Amino acid sequence: MTKCLQCNNTKRFWRLKDGRLRCSVCRKSFTLKKKLPRLNKRIVKKVISEFVLEHSTNTILERVNISKYKLLKLLILLRIVMTKDVPDIFSGIVEVDETLLGWPNEE
């Protein structure tokens, strides 16, 4: 539940353009804290390696001993982190076509 730290209002907030919230009672602006799942480094590394291999969520769940909720939260966090580290060359609209690399099968 969202709660203003200054006046303890829990009813109504405005969302600002920068993503923060503003309390409708005391007009204080604040950012929500995102609760990160507590995971072992070994598990996080295993999830990242499975994610890089483009395995589905169900496949990762079978291979890693983790709850579905924590896995989905971690995958969303990975995607957010990946979007923050995009080179400047990809600014604006970028079109990516599917490309197949490798040796052709000779029959």
Q: Tens digits of per-residue pLDDT, 68-86?
A: 988 998 998 888 888 777 7
Stated pTM of the model: 0.53
Residue 94 is predicted with a pLDDT of 66
- Nearest partner of 23 among 6, 48, 37, judged by Cα: 6
> For residue range 1-22, what is the model confidence (pLDDT) as tens digits?
677 877 888 888 888 888 888 8
β-sheet bridge partners, residue 13: 23
Tokens at 30, concatenated: 């604040």
